[in-house]
Amino acid sequence: MQEQLKAIQQEALANIQEVNNLKELQAIKVSYLGKKGSLTQVLRGMGKLSPEERPIVGEVANQVRETITSAIDEKNTVLENAALEEKLQAEAIDVTLPGRPTKVGGPHLLTKVIEEIEDLFIGLGFEVREGPEVETDYFNFEALNLPKNHPARDMQDSFYITNELLLRTHTSPVQARTMKEYKGEKGFKMICPGRVYRRDTDDATHSHQFTQIEGLYVDKDVKMSDLKGVLNLFAKKMFGEDRDIRLRPSFFPFTEPSVEMDISCKVCHGNGCSVCKGTGWIEILGAGMVHPNVLEMGGYDPKVYSGFAFGMGPERIAMLKYGVNDIRQFYLNDSRFLKQFHQA
C-alpha cells in the first residue's frame, strides 16, 4: 500500500508540474484529493490494514496528502500571479497623454506680497488693521501733523470729494485712528494694508490707485534702534538673508527723526551696478519715530510714550522682488500676468 501511495504522489507531482492553467489545476486537485480522488480511494482501504500497519501507513498517507496539497497551492500561486500579470499587461495605458486639467486659481501678486508682509509682522506681535478709503481731511492730514496750509498737502495731489473728505492718500490715517481707539492708555503694534489714491497720471511708474502698508508701534521706551532692528528683520525675510539695509535721514511731517530705508542691491551687493543706478542701494520704504504732535493728537503723552512708524508700497516691493517693470500691470488683470504668480 505504501508503494501505491508513493506512486500516486509521483504521478500527481508530475501532473501538477505540467499543468499551466488554473482550471486544469483545479481538476487535478479534484482527481487526487476530491471525494472520488485517487488518494482518497486508497485511503479508504486503510481499514483493511492491521493495527500495527495502520499508523505507519497513515503517516505516509498524510505526508503524501500534504506534499500534493502544497504542490497544488504553490502551483496555484504561480498560475494566479501569471494570470494577474497578463491582465495588468493588457490594462497598460500611455502615461504620457495629458491628464484632465484641474482648474488652478490663485491670488493677485499684490495680495501675495501683502499677505507675506502681514504674516511676517504678525509673527512680531503686530495686529492687522484696516481703515476707510474715503477719509476726512483731519485723519488724512491734520492728525498727522499736516495742518491746513502745509505745503506738502496740495489739493492738486489728492482726490478730494468735498473740502473735508477725500480718498486717502496714504494708509497713515489708520495710525491716528488706532491711537484714538487705544485712548492713549496702552502700547500696541499694528500694520495696516490698504488701497490709497493720488492724483497721478497712470504710466509705467505712477498709478492713481495703489496699495500701502503702514506700520505703527507705540509704547513706553520705543527706541530708534528697535525700528532699525525690526526693519532689518523685515528686509532679510522679505528679500533674502544676504541683503543688508541702510537707513538715511529723511523728512516726513509725521515722524521725527525720519528715515528712508535702502536695501543692498541684489545684483551687486552694494558695489554699484546698472540695476541700482550705481549706488549699490535700492530705496524701499520710509519710516521714523512718531512725531510728538502726532502722538499728542492721538491721545498719547509724548513724554511717556514714544513710537516708530513705517510705510511701504507693495507695488514697489513686488516690482523689485519679481522684476515687474510697469505698475499698470497690477491693475490691468491680464491673465497672462496673473498666472505668472499664482503658484504656491
Q: Are 46 and 54 in contact (CB under 8 A)?
A: yes
At 234, list the grid cell. 523685515
Residues 152-171 that bind other proteins (CB under 8 A): 152, 155-156, 159-162, 164-165, 167
**Least distance between other proteins and beta carbon 240 (Å):** 17
- Helix pair 224-239, 109-123: axis angle to 10 deg: 130
**Least distance between other proteins and beta carbon 289 (Å):** 7
Does residue 270 come out as left (phi exceeding 0), alpha (psi in the -120 to 50 range) or beta?
Answer: left
Residue 332 in contact with other proteins, rule: CB under 8 A: yes
Measured CA distances, 235 to 214, 283, 290, 332 (Å) = 15, 12, 21, 28
**Least distance between other proteins and beta carbon 312 (Å):** 17
Identified binder of other proteins from the candidate list 27, 33, 209, 296, rule CB under 8 A: 209
Residue 106 in contact with other proteins, rule: CB under 8 A: yes
246-252, Cβ contacts within 8 angstroms, sequence gap of 24 or more: 246/281, 247/287, 250/286, 250/288, 252/286, 252/288
Residue 201 in contact with other proteins, rule: CB under 8 A: yes
**Least distance between other proteins and beta carbon 323 (Å):** 19
Residue 268 in contact with other proteins, rule: CB under 8 A: no
Residues 270-329 that bind other proteins (CB under 8 A): 289, 291-292, 306
Binding map of other proteins across residues 228-247, x = CB under 8 A, - = no contact: xxx-xx------------xx
Question: If you write DSSP's letter for every residue of 281-340 in order, what string do you get?
Answer: EEEEEEEEEEPHHHHHHTT--TTTEEEEEEEE-HHHHHHHHH----TTHHHH--HHHHTT
Residues 62-101 that bind other proteins (CB under 8 A): 97-98, 100-101
Judged by CB under 8 A, how many residues of this single chain contact other proteins?
Answer: 91
Nearer to other proteins, 38 or 209 (CB): 209
**Least distance between other proteins and beta carbon 64 (Å):** 50
Nearest 5°: phi and psi at 146?
-120, 80
- Helix pair 2-18, 22-33: axis angle to 10 deg: 170
310 forms beta bridges with 215, 287
Residues 119-148 that bind other proteins (CB under 8 A): 121-128, 130, 132-136
Residue 257 in contact with other proteins, rule: CB under 8 A: yes
Nearer to other proteins, 22 or 128 (CB): 128
Nearest-CA neighbor of 231 among 204, 219, 213?
Answer: 213
Q: Are 280 and 272 in contact (CB under 8 A)?
A: yes
Identified binder of other proteins from the candidate list 34, 219, 275, 321, rule CB under 8 A: 219
3-state secondary structure of 105: coil
Nearer to other proteins, 84 or 124 (CB): 124
Identified binder of other proteins from the candidate list 32, 141, 197, 300, rule CB under 8 A: 197
Nearest-CA neighbor of 256 among 286, 291, 227?
Answer: 291
Which run of H or of E encompasses 112?
helix 109-123
Identified binder of other proteins from the candidate list 34, 108, 184, 296, rule CB under 8 A: 108
Binding segment for other proteins among 3-11, 33-41, 55-63, 331-339 (CB under 8 A)?
Answer: 331-339
Residue 115 in contact with other proteins, rule: CB under 8 A: yes
Which run of H or of E encompasses 251?
strand 245-252
Nearer to other proteins, 79 or 165 (CB): 165
Residue 248 in contact with other proteins, rule: CB under 8 A: yes
**Least distance between other proteins and beta carbon 199 (Å):** 6
